[in-house]
Structure 1
């Protein structure tokens, strides 16, 4: 899953404020209404991907039930990716990162325009590119934040056991600090 459900509000806000700061867009009904619409669109996309992943898991479980030794020597992650790709293709869902976010960005532009939540005098593609860049920048900076947290936890004086309650608490606290430092929350 490329975007987690918890990230959706942050991405929606980033998109709206990047559009505002571009000085190419006005929000006739207020930026909060646009943020809400962007959030709904992205959340629908995230939930659609989750449905596809659930279907892929169901297919794997059914095949395993039929023949428990069928996947004995198979890398389950690779199998999951292949089945997810097949299910996504059947449903018309693009799982290639760049193509998916390009489509999603254009859909956001169209929906905001149709619902009269944005107004602009430039090509749609220019607005779509701002949205696309916002999504990619958020995900890249969020990945950097996670990596920084992992390094900090590795350098703790007292070793923490991954998966333990203490590790989770420390990770969450440091993660939020890193997101704030990068301006993501």
Structure 2
């Protein structure tokens, strides 16, 4: 099995654990429930990445046209992603932690809960959906907190390390992983 995206795994576990601990959802197999939630998140993540890659390819192929029309690359990328998403029937694009995306994915997870024979629910749909969205907000806040701490560590070096440089990215990844390990969110690699 491929290595899982750590924040998607963290988010899937957070969603499932919150619902299971509050007994909003009762699962025959809690690990299977977590896996199903992860798969919903991962499928959306892959679709989003494919849109980004396709938009980037289109921008590269039409760089002169984009420049000629005076459209910023950021704006062109956004417009292209929206058009591609519409063509592919993807209703919400953007960061997994945006409000729209969280609500969209909460709806997909809620449908899983309502239709999976291995799952039962004890609360109204709105309460379950709100708990799912709250899980997204909690993980997003954790990501912001870790990001801030990592940036502070990099800034505390005796000589300046400028964001965007290979050295900055290497330190960022290292400190980010250290922070995740320190918080018990991932296991150290042996």
- What is the aligned residue count? 177
TM-score, L = length of structure 1: 0.80
Change (3 A) 1:55 1:164: closer
Partners of 1:142 and 1:179 within 8 A in 2:
no
SS at match of 1:119: strand
The 5 A counterparts of 1:44-63 are 44-63=43-62
The Cα RMSD (Å) is: 2.6
For structure 1, which runs of at least 5 residues remain unmatched after alignment? none
Structure 2 counterparts to residues 77-96 of structure 1, below 5 A = 77-90=74-87, 91-95=89-93
Deviation at 1:158, TM superposition (A): 3.9
| Aligned positions of 1:1-185 closer than 5 A | 5-28=5-28, 30-64=29-63, 68=64, 70-71=66-67, 73-90=70-87, 91-95=89-93, 97-160=98-161, 162=163, 163-165=165-167, 167-179=168-180, 184-185=185-186
The answer on whether the counterparts of 2:66 and 2:73 sit within 8 Å (CA) in structure 1 is: no
Of 35-44 and 14-23, the range deviating more from structure 2? 14-23
1:171–1:58 distance in 2 versus 1, CA, 3 Å: closer
Which one has more relative contact order, counting CA pairs under 8 Å at least 6 apart?
1
List per-residue Cα deviations over 1:39-97 (Å, max 9, x = no partner): 11100001111122222223223323xxx364155421122112212222333331263
Q: Distance in 2 between matches of 1:184 and 1:18?
A: 16
Greater CA drift, 124-133 or 50-59 = 50-59
TM-score of the aligned structures, taking structure 2 as reference length: 0.79
With over 3 angstroms needed to count, the CA separation of the structure-2 counterparts of 1:153 and 1:110, relative to structure 1, is same
Unaligned runs of 5+ in 2: none
